[in-house]
Amino acid sequence: MLAERLGVSRKTVDRYLSGVTKKPQKRLQAALAQETEAEWQPQAKAQARQRAASSTGLVISTTAYFGFGTEGSDAGRMRDIQVVLSPSHAAKILAARDTSATDSELHDAVAEAIADANFRVEGGGRAGLKVRVEAVERLDISF
């Protein structure tokens, strides 16, 4: 029950809901903010993750060393890359994270997604291009 979680009586909650009392005491105001965040944050995050995996994808911005296999014509070097990943890549990355994948497994999934989006067919490159991602200095993921 909300009143119990806030440490107040049910009547106090009713007064706020009806608008009779409008400005909560500092202690209650802090408790309300904490409870609102505790209830809202997980739901908002879950909805954003679902959108990323089904329709919007993820945006990855990174500074890392990108090297290429023997098929590559470009020498490896540090690059600043910002790329929008497809929902299918986003779903794989988020699923790996949810199943407690190791950092190495997550790194590989992100590297593969960046390679597909930026260096292979989607990015105008060759389908069989081998891409290595190493020495990651910065990695920002947003949905």
CA 44 from centre of chain: 12
* pLDDT tens-place string over residues 76-94: 889 899 988 889 999 988 8
pTM: 0.60
Is the pLDDT confidence value at 61 over 50? Answer: yes
pLDDT score for 124 = 59
* pLDDT tens-place string over residues 1-21: 667 777 778 787 777 777 777
pLDDT score for 117 = 85
* pLDDT tens-place string over residues 108-136: 888 888 888 887 776 556 777 777 788 88
